[in-house]
Structure 1
Amino acid sequence: MSKAFQRFLKRATDIVVSVIGLALLAPVFLIIAIAIKLDSPGPVFFRQERVGKDGRIFRIFKFRTMVQNATAHPLGYHTHDGDPRVTRVGRFLRQYSLDELPQFFNILVGDMSLVGPRPTLAYQVEKYNDFQRRRLLVRPGVTGLAQVNGRNQLTWPQRIERDVWYVDHWSYGLDLKILWQTVGVVLRREGVYNDGVPDEISQTG
């Protein structure tokens, strides 16, 4: 298959899966929303600006898993096992990656794809060198090569290296393989995805 047709298939798959996912999971969304509201004060959704393809800024959606104003804590955006800012419901959602479900909205409107490098914060992207900036050549994804090959055990430079490898070797078949591996990662509950330590970004050349 030509790259152009594979890109068409990728976008078509994103649209079909996100529409079906939003329709079928509507009752789950409602249950999660009620649980979040009963567990702690604050909004149901966590919204945050991230950097997408070609450096475009968009707003990512997640179910809120932490207390309100969690980023005002000295830890800021960094989280760890046993983080007291994570709510009881939030801990469960993270364990099964259910907090990522609202990103079907981002996929549907074209901000994200099912598979691609995870979207990062603007201040992290500012530290990218030319090699690292190549991860912005594709839409960010809900899951990616780094999430099924090491996940939280990887340093930021290692994650970016895998992301750039994905960009350079992308194919529709590779996406399908990553999606299949993601199912196993979620079922084995191999930890939540961490947005990383930005100070480490400059370590990769």
Structure 2
Amino acid sequence: MMKNKAEEILNDLIANKSDFDTSKKELIEAIKKVMPTFNLAALKSVDFDRTLIEFENWLVQTITEDPLPGSIKSIWFAITDSSKEDAPSEIQLVVKGSKQTPETKPNDWYAVDLWDATGKSSEIKAFKTISNAIKNNPDDAEMLLNFVMPAFTIILINSGFDIIKHEFIIYYPQIYVGCGFDGGKQYIVGKITEDGISNL
């Protein structure tokens, strides 16, 4: 039941594309709703505004150091364990690119990586906090990973492309963008255009 509700909320975040301040309030209320026993104090150090800046800076640095190939038509943010061997698990983002789109390859549009910035995973402090919460709250670990992490990523995607969108649409008038897990659930967040992020 809660998993279904969580999935509905994720889809609403994608469809509604609320502004950043509204979205962060919606996420907190959603956590209370689908994770009623979770102690929100575990996430008290999460600074949403700082996180958006960290996400934007990471995007700028990544695309500057490793420009997109001309054949890229979709990008996706892989939610992945970036920890080194024998180190505690730490969930971060890796951005990848594909020549396929959700329209040409609906089931595996993200699967053929032509551009993989694996060596440039994010270092977002809020995700470190969530990773610690996953480790310290085993009863809520699954929802923290499979709901909170995608929700936060969707919010960042919806709000974080304004300053760098032109670097992503340099070859095409639009580029598809999504997020998800390698070998797991994927979410198509929308497409980047001159006007920002819009729904498909």
Q: Do these two structures clear the TM 0.5 threshold for a shared fold by scoring above it?
A: no
Tell me which protein shows more helix as a share of its residues.
1
TM-score, with normalisation over the residues of structure 1?
Answer: 0.29
Tell me which protein shows more strand as a share of its residues.
2
